[in-house]
Structure 1
Amino acid sequence: MICGSLGSSTINLVSGSFQERYSLSQRDLSTITTTGTVVGYVMLPYSFLYDYFGPFPIAALSTFVFPLGALLVALCFEEVIVVNIVRLAVFYSLMNVGTSFFDLSSCITILSYFPVNRDPIVAFLKTFIGLGSAIVGSMYQDFLAACRNTSSIS
């Protein structure tokens, strides 16, 4: 759940840097995030896999797919991989699919243990996933602001 909460919106943390470094337009960034979100929502085949085999294969896929997408985005950021819109969209799609796998494996499994009065559990899980990216974004902005202030003083 922690990886799911941290992963889906983290591309927004580096999108400004990508936009400046590679002269991407707002349309390009919108294409990247929209493609990633749409691909991340295609979970029906994996729900059949979940129903048949349980949460373990989905959790195993998520621990492979999300770090792969994050690593590929990081390699683009470090200029190891040549950046273009299609590659960034595919890499962000991998990150979104990985976070959707984390969401599927954790939320559905936990909900199966709470057959009555699921409302607080669903609210907690979805709030946790939504707050994760906001907290990481706040920490990122504060850390970079502190680094910028320190480097300008010295």
Structure 2
Amino acid sequence: MVMLNKKSLFTKLAAVSMVASMMLATPVMAATNDTGDKDAQNGIVKTTYEDENGTWTEGMIGGNPEGVETCWLAYGPLYQYPSEGGTWQYGFWNAKVRSYYTVNRCHGSTVKLNGKTSRSVNTASGKKSIAELWAIQSDSNDQYFYRVC
């Protein structure tokens, strides 16, 4: 007859369930950018474009224009330090998806969630650009952007 140690069995089950819950709640992101620069290594994909206001550089987290490939919203706040300078803060917390950017030049931020977009105004040097959308934690398509002008 095999005797099971209840404490040992409980400890093993608790450890397995904690690992499983961490794996289920962790965003899975895929980015492909082989430029080898600091931003690419951090998962930032950049696009430069021109309009009537001049040339803009936009960075987004993730690797495809359709958005970050996640099982859940990117839990934040998460921080990046783009090569353009400043601090980019983004992610989902307190019932909103958010993209905040502060840098010493004209800049802005954008957040997209399931077809909705919030884009900040072009923000003055040294001030925080703010883009936010109300959200609940779910299987959604979230995208986070910053831009410099």
TM-score range, shorter chain: under 0.3
- Give the structure with the larger strand fraction: 2
Q: Which has the higher contact order (CA 8 A, sep 6+)?
A: 1
**TM-score normalised per structure 1:** 0.23
TM-score by length of 2: 0.23
Structure (1/2) with the larger helix percentage: 1
